C-alpha cells in the first residue's frame, strides 16, 4: 500500500526538485561566466591546452576501464534479493538503475568540474596581470561549478528515488549511494596515483638533482604534474564529496523512516534532510557573491572564509525556521517522550561545528604560520631524517584531535535527543547532513587550489614576457592559499566520511527491521565472531594504504627514469633550446594509475563480502566498526602529515633557512615527496573505501543471513554459532578468497618488475 503525501510534504517535494534544478542551472551560468574571460597569449594557451588534453585523455581511459566493472556490478545488483512491496515498481530494477545513475552523476561531477577547472587556469593567469581581485573571483567561481553540480545532482537523485518509490526509496537509494561511492573510489585512487607519480618524479629530478624551479619547462614531468592536480584534486575531490553527500543522504532517509514511520508522521523524517540540503544549495549560491576582495591588498583566504561564513549564517537561519514549522509533534518510538523541534537544528549545527573545528585543526597543523610547520622547517636544517620524524609526529597528534572533535560532534547530536535508540542515530545522520550542507562552498574551495596551482605553473612555463613581477606574486599568493583550502577540504572530506560511515553502521541494524526481519548486528564485543571481524576490519585500511602508497612509488620510479633519460638524451633540452616529450610522461602516469586500480578495487569490494559470507553478519558488523576507526586515524594522519611536509617546503622556498637550493631545501623536498602520496593518494582514498564496504554490507546483508558458512545463533544465557556449509556459500567464499589472493599477487608482481 502506497502511503500518500500530505499537502505540506507534496509542496516540499516540489520545492526540492526546483532547488536541485536551480543549482544545476547556476552551475551552467557560472561555467559560461568563467569561460567568457580572456585567455591570454598564444604561449599561455599552448600550455593550458596540453593540460586539458592530458586530463581529458586520462579520465576517458579511466572511465572506459571501470565501465566493465560497473556493468558487472549492475547485473549482480539486479539479482540480489530485495523486498518487493505490492503496488510498487520493481525494487531490484530500481536499485540497479539508481546504481547506474549514482555512478553517472559522480562521473559527471568529476569530469565536468575538472573540464571547467582546466579552462579556468589560463583565464586566472591572464587576469593576474590586471587585477588580483579578478583572478581570485575567476578561480573561485570556476571551482564553484563542480560544487553546484555536486549539490544539484546529489539532491536530484535522492528526490527522484523518493518520488517513485516513496517509503521504499531507501532500498533503491542504496544502489544510488553505491554507484557514486564506487566511482569516487576509482577517481580518488587513480587520480592520486597519477598526480603523485608525476609530482614526485618532477620534484626529485628537478629540484633535488638538477636544482631547477618547480615548474621549469625543461622538466618533462611538469605537464603531467599539472594534469595530475586536476584529475586528483578536481575530479577526485568532487567525486569524493559527492559520494559523501549521497551516502549521508541515504543514511538519513533510512534512519528517518525507522525513527518516524510514515504511516504515523508522514514523510517528515525523509524529507527533512532533503530540505536541509536544499537550504544549503541556496546558501552556497548566496555565499559565492561574498567571495570578492575588498581592495587589492586583502588576503584571498579572508575573502573565501567570508563567503563560507555568509553561507553558514544563511543556512543556520533556514534550519531553525524549517524545523520550527515542520518538525513539531514528533515522539521517540523507544521512550514515548516528545521530541523538541530545536533538537533537529542543533544536531545539524553539530555538523557545522565539526566542519569549523576541522578547518581550525587543519590550519593549526598544516599552515605555514603554525608552530608545527615552523618546527618542521627548522628540522630540515639537520637533514631529511629529522624533518620526516617531526612530520610523522605532527600527523599522529593531529589525528588524535580530529577524532576527538568527531566524537564530540557525535556525542552532541546523540545526547540532545536523550536516548541511544534510532532517533539518536538520526541525529548523527543530521550531523553529517549539516557538515556537508555547504558542499558548494567546500568543493569550490578545493578546486580553487588546482586552478591557482595550474595558473602559477602556466606563468612559470611561459617563455615570452607575458607576466609582470606583480602578476607572478599574485599567482604565488593564490597558490599558497590554494594549498590551505585543499588541506581544509581534505579534512572535511575525511570527517564527513566517518560520520557517513557511522550513520550507515546503524543503518546496517535498522535496514532488516524496516524489511520486517531481525537485526543483523548485535553490538557485543564479547562475542568472538564480532571481535574477529573488528580486528580484520581494522587491518584492511592499512593493507589498502600499503598498496596505494607502493603504487605511487612504483609509478614515480618510472617517471624519474624517464625524466633523467630525456635530460641525458634530448640535445639542447638543458640549454632550453629543445622541448621535452611531455606526452610520454603523461602516458606513464596514465598507464600506472590504470594498472593499480585493480588490486585496490578488489580489496575494497571483496574483503567485507568474504568476512560476511564466511563468518556471518555479526562478524561483518565488527568488521565495519574496525574499518571505520582505523580509516579515520590513518586518513587524518596521512593528510595532515603530508600537508605539513608540503608547507614546510614552501616556507623554505620563500627564503627561510637558506631558501631554494640549500641543503635545508633538499631535505624539505624529500619530506614533501614522502608526504605527497600520503595526503593526495592513500589518505583521501580511505574516504570512499570505508563507505564502499558499508554500502556493500547493506546491499548484501540479507543474502549473507541466508548463505553464510558460519551462522550466529543468539541465545540465553549463552549464544553460539553453527556451520552452514551450503553449496552457494562455500562457492562464494572460494571465489572471494581467490579474488583477494589474485589482487595481492598482482600488486606484488608489479613491485618485482620495478626492481629489475
**pLDDT higher than threshold 50 for residue 747:** yes
Averaged pLDDT, 311-333: 91
Checking if the pLDDT of 243 tops 70, the result is yes
The answer to whether 410 touches 403, Cβ cutoff 8 Å, is no
pLDDT at 208 over 70: yes
Confidence of residue 522 (pLDDT cuts 50, 70, 90): low
Nearest CA to 172 out of 108, 250, 104, 109 is that of: 250
Place of cell 537550504: 279
Pair type for strands 720-723 and 710-713: antiparallel
Q: What percent of the chain has pLDDT over 70?
A: 96
Q: For residue 407, what pLDDT is reported? A: 92
Residue 271 contacts residue 9 (beta carbons within 8 Å): yes
Residues 321-342 have a mean pLDDT of: 88
Q: Is residue 521 pLDDT above 70, yes or no?
A: no
The alpha carbon of 700 is separated from its chain's Cα centroid by a whole number of angstroms, namely 24
pTM recorded for the entire structure: 0.87
What's the pLDDT score for residue 376? 94
Distance from C-alpha of 494 to C-alpha of 641, rounded to nearest angstrom? 14
pLDDT at residue number 717: 55
Tens of pLDDT, residue by residue over 445-457, are: 888 988 998 898 8
pLDDT given at position 715: 62
- In this structure, the number of other CB atoms found within 10 A of the CB of residue 363 comes to 18
Residue 103: is its pLDDT beyond 60? yes
More confident residue, 187 or 421: 187
Using pLDDT thresholds of 50, 70 and 90, give the confidence band for residue 738. Answer: very high
Q: For the chain, how far is it from start to end, CA to CA, in angstroms?
A: 66
pLDDT > 70? residue 520? no
**In this model, does residue 57 exceed pLDDT 80?**
yes
105 pLDDT tier (thresholds 50, 70, 90):
very high
Read off φ and ψ for residue 487, nearest 5 degrees: -65, -40
* pLDDT score for 735: 94
Q: Pick the closest to residue 697 from 308, 367, 247, 345 (CA basis).
A: 247
pLDDT tens digits, one per residue of 661-680: 889 998 999 998 899 889 88
Judged against a pLDDT cut of 90, whether residue 734 lies above it is answered with: yes
Query: How many other β-carbons are positioned within 10 Å of the β-carbon of residue 253?
Result: 26
Question: Could you tell me the residue ranges of all domains in the chain?
Answer: 7-755
Give the pLDDT band (50/70/90) at residue 503. Answer: confident
pLDDT beyond 60 at 628: yes
147 close to 439: Cβ distance less than 8 angstroms: yes
- The residue-averaged pLDDT of 720-743 equals 87
Question: What digits encode the pLDDT tens for the residues 255-276?
Answer: 888 888 888 888 999 999 999 9
Which residues lie closer than 8 Å to 401 by C-beta, 6 or more apart? 361
CA distance 137 to 144: 10
Nearest to 245 by CA among 305, 173, 141, 316: 173
Mean pLDDT of the chain: 86
- Pairwise pLDDT comparison (68 vs 119), residue with the higher score: 119
Helix axes 132-165, 439-461, angle to 10 degrees: 140
Rounded to whole angstroms, the maximal C-alpha distance in the chain is 83
Quick: pLDDT tens for 399-418: 999 999 999 999 999 889 87
Radius of gyration of the chain (CA): 25
Q: How far apart are CA 3 and CA 155, in angstroms?
A: 22
Cα separation, 738 vs 741, in Å, equals 5
User: What are the pLDDT digits (tens) for 270-295?
Assistant: 999 999 999 999 999 999 888 888 77
pLDDT of residue 610: 95
Mean pLDDT calculated for residue range 16-44: 92
DSSP per position, 573-633: TTTTSS---HHHHHHHHHHHHHHHHHHHHHHHHHHHHHHHHHH-HHHHHHHHHHHHHHHHH
Q: Where are the alpha helices (DSSP H) in 80-168?
A: 91-128, 132-165
Residue 378 has pLDDT above 90, yes or no: yes
Q: Which of 275, 237, 644 is nearest to 449 (CA)?
A: 237
Query: Per 3-state DSSP, what percentage of the chain is helix, strand, and coil (rounded to 5)?
Result: 80, 0, 15
Q: Is the dihedral of CA 393, 395, 401, 407 positive or negative?
A: negative
pLDDT of residue 719: 60
Residue 18: is it exposed, middle or buried by C-beta count within 10 angstroms (0-12/13-18/19+)? exposed
CA distance 263 to 104: 33
Q: What is the pLDDT of residues 124-140, one digit of tens each?
A: 999 998 888 899 999 99
Amino acid at each position: 500500500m502506497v502511503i500518500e503525501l500530505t499537502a505540506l510534504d507534496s509542496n516540499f517535494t516540489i520545492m526540492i526538485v526546483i532547488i536541485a534544478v536551480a543549482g544545476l542551472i547556476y552551475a551552467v551560468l557560472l561555467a559560461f561566466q568563467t569561460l567568457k574571460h580572456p585567455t591570454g597569449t598564444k604561449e599561455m594557451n599552448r600550455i593550458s591546452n596540453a593540460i586539458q588534453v592530458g586530463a581529458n585523455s586520462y579520465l576517458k581511459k579511466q572511465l572506459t576501464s571501470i565501465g566493465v566493472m560497473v556493468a558487472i556490478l549492475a547485473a549482480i545488483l539486479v539479482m540480489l534479493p530485495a523486498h518487493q512491496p505490492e503496488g510498487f515498481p520493481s525494487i531490484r530494477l530500481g536499485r540497479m538503475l539508481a546504481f547506474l545513475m549514482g555512478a553517472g552523476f559522480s562521473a559527471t561531477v568529476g569530469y565536468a568540474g575538472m573540464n571547467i577547472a582546466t579552462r579556468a587556469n589560463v583565464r586566472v593567469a591572464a587576469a593576474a596581470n590586471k587585477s588580483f581581485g579578478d583572478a581570485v573571483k575567476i578561480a573561485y567561481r570556476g571551482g564553484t561549478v563542480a560544487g553546484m553540480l555536486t549539490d544539484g545532482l546529489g539532491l536530484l537523485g535522492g528526490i527522484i528515488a523518493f518520488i517513485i518509490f516513496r517509503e521504499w526509496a531507501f532500498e533503491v537509494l542504496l544502489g544510488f549511494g553505491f554507484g557514486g561511492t564506487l566511482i569516487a573510489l576509482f577517481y580518488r585512487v587513480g587520480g592520486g596515483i597519477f598526480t603523485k607519480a608525476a609530482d614526485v618524479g618532477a620534484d626529485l629530478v628537478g629540484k633535488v638533482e638538477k636544482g631547477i624551479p618547480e615548474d621549469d619547462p625543461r622538466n618533462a614531468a611538469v605537464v603531467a604534474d599539472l594534469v595530475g592536480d586536476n584529475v586528483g584534486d578536481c575530479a577526485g575531490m568532487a567525486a569524493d564529496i559527492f559520494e559523501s553527500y549521497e551516502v549521508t543522504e541515504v543514511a538519513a532517509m533510512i534512519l528517518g523512516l525507522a525513527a518516524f514511520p510514515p504511516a504515523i508522521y508522514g514523510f517528515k523524517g525523509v524529507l527533512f534532510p532533503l530540505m536541509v540540503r536544499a537550504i544549503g544549495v541556496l546558501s552556497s549560491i548566496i555565499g559565492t557573491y561574498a567571495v570578492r576582495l575588498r581592495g587589492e591588498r586583502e588576503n584571498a583566504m579572508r575573502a573565501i572564509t567570508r563567503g563560507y561564513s555568509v553561507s553558514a549564517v544563511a543556512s543556520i537561519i533556514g534550519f531553525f525556521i524549517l524545523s520550527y514549522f515542520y518538525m513539531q509533534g514528533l515522539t521517540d518510538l523507544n521512550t514515548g517522550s516528545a521530541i523538541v523541534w530545536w533538537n533537529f537544528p542543533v544536531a545539524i549545527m553539530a555538523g557545522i561545528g565539526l566542519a569549523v573545528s576541522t578547518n581550525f585543526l587543519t590550519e593549526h597543523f598544516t599552515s605555514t604560520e603554525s608552530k608545527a610547520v615552523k618546527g618542521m622547517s627548522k628540522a630540515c636544517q639537520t637533514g631529511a631524517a629529522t624533518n620526516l620524524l617531526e612530520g610523522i609526529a605532527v600527523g599522529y597528534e593531529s589525528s588524535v584531535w580530529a577524532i576527538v572533535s568527531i566524537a564530540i560532534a557525535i556525542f552532541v547530536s546523540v545526547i540532545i535527543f536523550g536516548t541511544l535508540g534510532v532517533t539518536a542515530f538520526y541525529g548523527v545522520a543530521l550531523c553529517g547532513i549539516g557538515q556537508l550542507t555547504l558542499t558548494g562552498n567546500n568543493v569550490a574551495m578545493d578546486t580553487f587550489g588546482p586552478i591557482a596551482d595550474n595558473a602559477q605553473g602556466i606563468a612559470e612555463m611561459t617563455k615570452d614576457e607575458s607576466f609582470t613581477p606583480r602578476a607572478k606574486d599574485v599567482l604565488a599568493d593564490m597558490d599558497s592559499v590554494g594549498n590551505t583550502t585543499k588541506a581544509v577540504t581534505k579534512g572535511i572530506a575525511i570527517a564527513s566520511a566517518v560520520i557517513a560511515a557511522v550513520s550507515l553502521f546503524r543503518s546496517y541494524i535498522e535496514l532488516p527491521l524496516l524489511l520486517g526481519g531481525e537485526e543483523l548486528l548485535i553490538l557485543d564485543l564479547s562475542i568472538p565472531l564480532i571481535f574477529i571481524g573488528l580486528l580484520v576490519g581494522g587491518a584492511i585500511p592499512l593493507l589498502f594504504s600499503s598498496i596505494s602508497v607502493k603504487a605511487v612509488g612504483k609509478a614515480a620510479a618510472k617517471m624519474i627514469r624517464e625524466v633523467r633519460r630525456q635530460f641525458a638524451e634530448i640535445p639542447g633540452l638543458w640549454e632550453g633550446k629543445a622541448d621535452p616529450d611531455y606526452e610520454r610522461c603523461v602516458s606513464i602516469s596514465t598507464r600506472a594509475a590504470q594498472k593499480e586500480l585493480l588490486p585496490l578495487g578488489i580489496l575494497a569490494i571483496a574483503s567485507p563480502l568474504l568476512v560476511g559470507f564466511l563468518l556471518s553478519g555479526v562478524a561483518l558488523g565488527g568488521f565495519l566498526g574496525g574499518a571505520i576507526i582505523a580509516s579515520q586515524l590513518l586518513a587524518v594522519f596521512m593528510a595532515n602529515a603530508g600537508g605539513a611536509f608540503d608547507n614546510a617546503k614552501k616556507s623554505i622556498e620563500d627564503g627561510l633557512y637558506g631558501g631554494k637550493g640549500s641543503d635545508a631545501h633538499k631535505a624539505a623536498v624529500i619530506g614533501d615527496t614522502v608526504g605527497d602520496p600520503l595526503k593526495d593518494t592513500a589518505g583521501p582514498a580511505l574516504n570512499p573505501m570505508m563507505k564502499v564496504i558499508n554500502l556493500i554490507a547493506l546491499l548484501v546483508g540479507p543474502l549473507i543471513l541466508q548463505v553464510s558458512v558460519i551462522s550466529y545463533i543468539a541465545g540465553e544465557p549463552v549464544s553460539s554459532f553453527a556451520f552452514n556449509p551450503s553449496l552457494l556459500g562455500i562457492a562464494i567464499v572460494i571465489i572471494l578468497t581467490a579474488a583477494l589472493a589474485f589482487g595481492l599477487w598482482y600488486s606484488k608482481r608489479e613491485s618485482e618488475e620495478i626492481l629489475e
